[in-house]
Chains A and B, each alone.
Chain A
Amino acid sequence: MEDIQNSAPGSVPAGKLGARKGADPSQNAAKRLQTELMQLMTSPAPGVSAFPSADGNLLAWNATIEGPADTPYADLTFKLSFEFPSNYPYAPPTVLYKTPIYHPNVDFSGRICLDILKDKWTPAYNIQSVLLSLQSLLGEPNNASPLNGEAAELWDKDPTLFKTKVMDRHKDIGDD
């Protein structure tokens, strides 16, 4: 009797004690992305969100970043696209701004200069950390290695003009 009492509820934590088996490598990327999605959904970070594209391809995501307050980008939202390689997370995703943005580290076609998306990438990063990095990049651009030299210059010299340029450049894109 005692055993039954004990074992029935005991079976619940069993799943938690168990060894987790490694998944088939070819499935890794999709599995990992699914897990990341679940994490994003269960513990969303403020100001950023991401979701696989509507065509159901897990390797292509869209993301949204809200411009942090106290930066020229406050109250703006930016859309980004993520392309994941099949060996993700061992290689970084390709991230582009879809929304036109005026920023020292982003060029006019939306390409981003960010070390963790290049050589500093490790599998420990995930979508959320990338998005948070990008978000913080909005407030603290790395002016040492600009893609947009003018923006880098204006950031320090003329914040008002910079803000104007940001607002000029920004344009909400609709999906449909």
Chain B
Amino acid sequence: MAAAVATSKWKTRRRRVYQSVFQTDITQPTPHSTPSSRFTEQGQPFGGHTPLSELKHRLHNANYALAASPDPAPGTLQPPSGHRNTTDDPDHRSVGTSSSYTPTVAASFASPTQPPPTRHFGLQDAAEDQMRYDRAWHVVTLRIALPASATAEDSFGTLASESQYQSQGQGTSSESEFYEALRLVVNAPTALPRAAHTEDLLFWHTQQVRRHFAQHVLPLLSACAEGLLGEEDLRDPTGRGSYEKHMIIVMSSVRTLEAAMRLYSYGMQLLVRGIQRVQAADKENAAADPELSAGRFRRDVHALVSNSASPQLMRSLRVVLVHLVGNTLGVPAQKQGRQDRDAETTRPAPPTENDLNSLASRKRLLELLDPLYSVGLAGERFQILFAEVMDGMMSEFVKGAYAGVWASPTEQHGLVRSTSITGLQATSPASSSPCISSLCNWVENHYARLAIEVLSRITDDPSQPPVTLSDVKTYQSLALGRLAALRISELFDIVLAWPSSRGALDDLRAAITTPARRLQLTDSFAEALRRRLLHPGRSTLEILQTYIAMIRTFHALDHSKVLLSRVSPNLQLYLCGREDAVRIVVTGLLASTEEIRAARMEKQMREEKEGMGRGRQARTPRSGAFMTPALPPRRGLRSRHGTPDVEEAGIRDVPPPSASTAGGTHSTKLVELALLMTDPVQSRRAGGADEDADLDWNDMSWVPDPIDAGANYKRPRSEDVIGTLISALGSQDTFIREFQVIVAERLLSDQARFDQEVRVLNLLKKRFGEAALQNCDVMIRDIQDSRRLDGAIRKVQGVQDGEQPRPPPAATPTNPKTRSRPAPPSASPSASSTEAPYHARILSRLFWPSLEREHFLLPAPISEQQKHYEQGYEHLKASRKLTWLNQLGQATVELELQDRTVAVDCKTYEATVIYAFQSSDTTPARMTVSDLEDQLQMDDDLITSALSFWASKGVLARRGDTYIVLETAPASDQALTSSAPGSPEAAAESEPAAAAVVVDEKEAGRRAVYWQYIRGMLTNASATMPLGQMAMMMKMLIADGFPWSNEELQEFLGEKVGDGELEIVGGKYRLVRK
């Protein structure tokens, strides 16, 4: 509707434009032109036919200019061309232009094929012939002359022009007169041998058409193109939005051209018919086939049209093509950018059999082609345009239809597959990939089909099939190449989405068949890796998770691991810089069954959720999580970063037995590894048992090594994620050492059972062999043995444990060979008289990672028990002694305060510190750090940390340097609640303060040490030294580094000078001698 209104509006506007530019009345049959002086001099008797003669002169002029031959031979029907008929010319020329002989002309006098020049002809005869010729010429040309405004009618496509022509023609000459004249003109060389100036009628017509086209049709065409488009349309680069307008432009241009064509061919047909008739009557002179000339004329005009098609028209044509082809092929137009394409609706998809939109577009397109072809717009430029559009469509289809579609949408494409005739799928490994088969189908059944239909309509040579089967295959391989490029660019996301992205790998595997493609793939992936993963913003856990996904993805992609080996070195190098990598892997391996279960459930839930939005799945949720800088909680990691030392963090990582909640623990652990560990496929290659796998004659899936494999390439046997991961982290030894440390931590924790550790140990043994993991074996046995031993010792000593032993605190080993760690007992400050049960774990020193011993005094009742226990042990194992590792144990503490009882499981040093408060005789009990240090001989770091621990439990409160026991809980509920869960504010406040004290103490200690250095230096190294040298020596000699600047040192030395310890002599310091 809207289109129709627009059309009629536009028509009236166009008419107005036209009328303002052109006069609408009939003008001269031939255009005016100023006769050249040269021809008037020759005095040709043209009588009253001025316009004609002028035209002729003009044409002569043109010919002279165009070619060396002065006179076109009128007798030939050849269209004008530069080299035409020079041999015919001389005689005419000798008469008409006697003054201008040229050597060429002279030479051709001797030509035997021509009648000898007749010098007897009088000028009189010549003039008469010429006059007759001119008259005949006039008759003919008047008949076929083009009206200047021929295409001015309002309604294009009517036959008005023809009737107009006829009436016009009849008005001037009758049929027979025309043919007679035509005969004269055509056969001028024989009929009017003395006419000096003759013309090629066809050439004249062609020229006339050209001029007419340029003067009248082109302005109309540009009016068509410009009248309709608003600024907005011109700015729109694709133009797809304003398809209707562009369609109108194309259609009106085509109609204008059609009308012009009718005009041109009408004249031509007259000529051709006439000439045929003339030739039929006069067989001798059948010089050339007029049909041939007519064909040539048509080509000429087509070339004219297609070469003069304006950019605007081509642009409109492109828009129209894009729209129609797009609809036909199922590639929908994209409106205003990609944002508002909502997932499924605008995705390109192969049109179904009865897709009305597609069918209509196809019909419309094919309808459009015929007129285009007939007016000459379907020439080379159109074909290029069409090729470009088709090319764009293929890219768009591949990108639109398959980007992010990694799952297998089998139902959707299943039915079309069978219709393929190329058999490409059957032979290529791609047959398994739904994307590839659907793409091949699309190319074959839609793309190639459209190409055939279109090209066959515009081809000049119908005998040749426009698209051959091999072309179709080329299209398919092109499409596959594009799909591969798409997948390669997506590869990183594919890896992230593993395993839901398997489908995409099928596509890729089929496509990366050449080394070049494989190289492109690895290059592009390595780049993505660098850009998106290997930077400080990614946690080690994420990197490891991605690496696992990479190993699996690339293994699925390429069993040979050649590809993986090309992309992973960077990653491995980067991982080496992450100190916590090994630890994460090991803790991942040791993930408890609850964690595994939780992870599985979460995975299932996620899959179910994603299951609803199939097709796009995987991508959005997962990559979303990876794109945002805000990452899942990483509490465990952070504490690890803080302390390069591993043990502590590991202890913390042990999940509280009660807290096996799914969400929290999952994201901080590499649970995948634990899953993989139990996967039988993964552990298949236990310990290189099948070393000769290459010789496995029964391996039906054997394929040769890829051609880009290195010289020493060794075929890997299975996916073996864990093996690859471990080798990426350095040597097996590093891994085992780390494993040992972590297992040690876990064994020393208060876990009751160690099933998981034993299980993992056994699995690792399969992988690394028994010997490598012997230490771990011993460690586990130690723990088991000490349980027995513990019981035995207690029995021997007759200790009655009134209560069941609590989680056995660790105690320990012994003689040169063993070491012991203490197991502090439950201490209860208020009820110290009751004997607390005391248990120990005994470790064989040589097999455990070295554990630092921390000295402090245990509470008296405990150390008594400890001694007791030690005696019991030595009694049992006479040759061994226990060395106690007091700081590694656990204690259960019950504090009876005035208004409440607090029961806490804590570390032994924490228990010791709180126990010490009991000895304070003030009420409430109060102690300072240095009091405690004196009393317990404990490291002040430990004391501070223990005090903060108790403060966080709401048992202690800090008052300046002093800690006091809170006998009554803080009055307000708020304070109570905030302190019970470990009041963050309170902690935040107290810690910096505590830190300040510590810093001061530390600083003082440091200054004392530095003073010792300076004294030692001045005593022994050199009695006097300048400041600079002293600073240099200090920097060099102090192992932990010397943080002071020269100025600070100078200030410090200045103080000492002030104290009378130092003196400055000649700019150098020296000790004051006493």
Contacts and interface: CB of A to CB of B under 8 A. Distances in A.
Interface of A: 1-20, 31, 34-35, 37-38, 40-42, 44, 49-54, 56, 58, 61-64, 79, 174-176
Interface stretch (B439-447, B477-485, B777-785, B979-987): B979-987
B1015 A5 contact: no
Contacts of A17: 645, 647-648, 851-852, 854, 887-888
Nearest to B744: A19
A43 to B, nearest CB: 9
A65 B639 CA distance: 48
A34 B1037 CA distance: 6
A175 B1023 CA distance: 6
B1009 interface: yes
Interface in B1007-1038: 1009, 1012-1013, 1015-1017, 1019-1025, 1029, 1032-1033, 1036-1038
B643 A11 contact: yes
16 contacts: A4-B982, A5-B948, A6-B949, A6-B982, A9-B946, A9-B948, A11-B648, A17-B852, A19-B851, A37-B1016, A41-B1009, A41-B1013, A44-B1016, A49-B1020, A64-B1020, A175-B1022
A13 B987 contact: no
A1 B982 contact: yes
Given A4-B982, A17-B648, A54-B1022, A40 B1016 contact: yes
Contacts of B851: 17, 19
Most B-side CB within 10 Å, residue of A19, A50, A79: A19
B952 interface: yes
A68 B648 CA distance: 48
Given A1-B984, A9-B948, A51-B1019, 9 more contacts: A1-B981, A4-B984, A9-B949, A12-B944, A16-B942, A18-B646, A51-B1017, A56-B1036, A64-B1019
A18 B639 CA distance: 15
B237 to A, nearest CB: 56
A5 B982 contact: yes
Contacts of A44: 1012, 1016
Nearest to B978: A1
Interface in B179-233: none
A13 B854 contact: yes
B1039 A34 contact: yes
A40 B1021 CA distance: 14
B776 interface: no
A54 B1021 contact: yes
Interface in B970-1021: 981-984, 987, 991, 1009, 1012-1013, 1015-1017, 1019-1021
Contacts of A3: 635, 652
Interface string B144-156: 0000000000000
Contacts of A79: 1020
A37 B854 CA distance: 22
B639 A11 contact: yes
A18 B647 contact: yes
B247 to A, nearest CB: 69
Contacts of B741: 19
9 closest A-B pairs (Cβ-Cβ)? Answer: A14-B648, A9-B945, A5-B952, A51-B1020, A1-B982, A62-B1020, A41-B1012, A18-B645, A51-B1016
A48 B1016 CA distance: 10
B849 interface: yes
A41 B850 CA distance: 27
A51 B1021 contact: yes
Interface in B833-873: 849-852, 854
A9 B991 CA distance: 9
Given A49-B1020, A54-B1033, A2 B944 contact: no
Contact of B1021 (A5, A7, A62): A62
A157 B948 CA distance: 67
Most A-side CB within 10 Å, residue of B982, B983, B991, B1020: B1020
A79 to B, nearest CB: 8
Contact of A19 (B649, B850, B854): B850
Given A5-B949, A8-B991, A53-B1021, A13 B981 contact: no
Most A-side CB within 10 Å, residue of B646, B1016, B1029, B1036: B1016
Contact of A14 (B647, B946, B1037): B647
Contact of A10 (B648, B888, B1020): B648
Interface residues of B, number: 54
Contacts of A19: 647, 741, 849-852
A13 B1020 contact: no
A34 B635 CA distance: 37
A35 B1038 CA distance: 8
Interface of B: 635, 639, 642-643, 645-649, 652, 741, 849-852, 854, 887-888, 909, 939, 941-942, 944-946, 948-949, 952, 981-984, 987, 991, 1009, 1012-1013, 1015-1017, 1019-1025, 1029, 1032-1033, 1036-1039
Most B-side CB within 10 Å, residue of A4, A49, A51: A51
B1016 A49 contact: yes
B903 to A, nearest CB: 14
A14 B649 contact: yes
Contacts of A49: 1015-1016, 1019-1020
Nearest to A17: B647
Given A5-B952, A5-B987, A51-B1017, A37 B1037 contact: yes
Nearest to A61: B1020
Given A38-B1039, A41-B1013, A49-B1015, A14 B1020 contact: no
Contacts of A2: 952, 981-982
Most A-side CB within 10 Å, residue of B642, B1022, B1032, B1036: B1022
B718 to A, nearest CB: 35
A174 B1023 contact: yes
B1020 A63 contact: yes
Given A15-B643, A42-B1012, A56 B1032 contact: yes
A49 B1046 CA distance: 25
Nearest to A31: B1039
Nearest to B1021: A54
Contact of A50 (B652, B888, B1016): B1016
A1 B985 CA distance: 11
A10 B945 contact: yes
Contacts of A52: 1021, 1033, 1037
A71 B851 CA distance: 45
A51 B1021 CA distance: 6
Most B-side CB within 10 Å, residue of A10, A34, A37, A79: A10
A65 to B, nearest CB: 11
A13 B909 CA distance: 10
Contacts of A54: 1017, 1021-1022, 1025, 1029, 1033
B996 to A, nearest CB: 15
Nearest to A56: B1036
Nearest to B941: A12
A120 B1021 CA distance: 28
A18 to B, nearest CB: 4
A159 to B, nearest CB: 28
B1008 to A, nearest CB: 8
Given A5-B948, A34-B1037, A175-B1022, A16 B1015 contact: no
A38 B645 CA distance: 23
Nearest to A44: B1012
A7 B641 CA distance: 12
A61 B1013 CA distance: 13
A134 B356 CA distance: 109
A176 B888 contact: no
Contact of B854 (A16, A34, A53, A58): A16
Contact of A7 (B639, B939, B1037, B1038): B639
Contact of A176 (B944, B1024, B1032): B1024
Contacts of B945: 9-10, 12-13
Contacts of A50: 1016, 1020
B857 to A, nearest CB: 16
